[in-house]
Amino acid sequence: MVEFNKSEKELLVYKLKGYFADELDQEIGQFDAEFLLEFISKEIGLYYYNKGLNDAQEVFKDRVDSITDAIYELELPTEFSGR
């Protein structure tokens, strides 16, 4: 389950309450918003978390590939380099 500290949870609950009011024209109480946040965190949050990790891994891989290419371009030809 994705966990949030107290101030993060307060902000997210506030955003959920605002979403319900603005987009759905429904008021949602503090308890219901906290319960919904817990459900989303437990049941859906892990998918977003894993997606974020996968995206970060792709960025990291691209950067490593770029650095590897830059180093390869700096390599000077020798009898051992195959150039």
Query: Are residues 2 and 49 in contact, defined by beta-carbon separation less than 8 angstroms?
Result: yes
Query: Are residues 41 and 2 in contact, defined by beta-carbon separation less than 8 angstroms?
Result: yes
Residue 83 clears pLDDT 60, i.e. is over it: no
Please tell me the pTM assigned to this model. 0.69
Tell me what pLDDT residue 39 has: 95
What's the CA gap between 79 and 81, in Å, rounded? 6
Express each pLDDT in 32-53 by its tens digit: 999 999 999 999 999 999 999 9
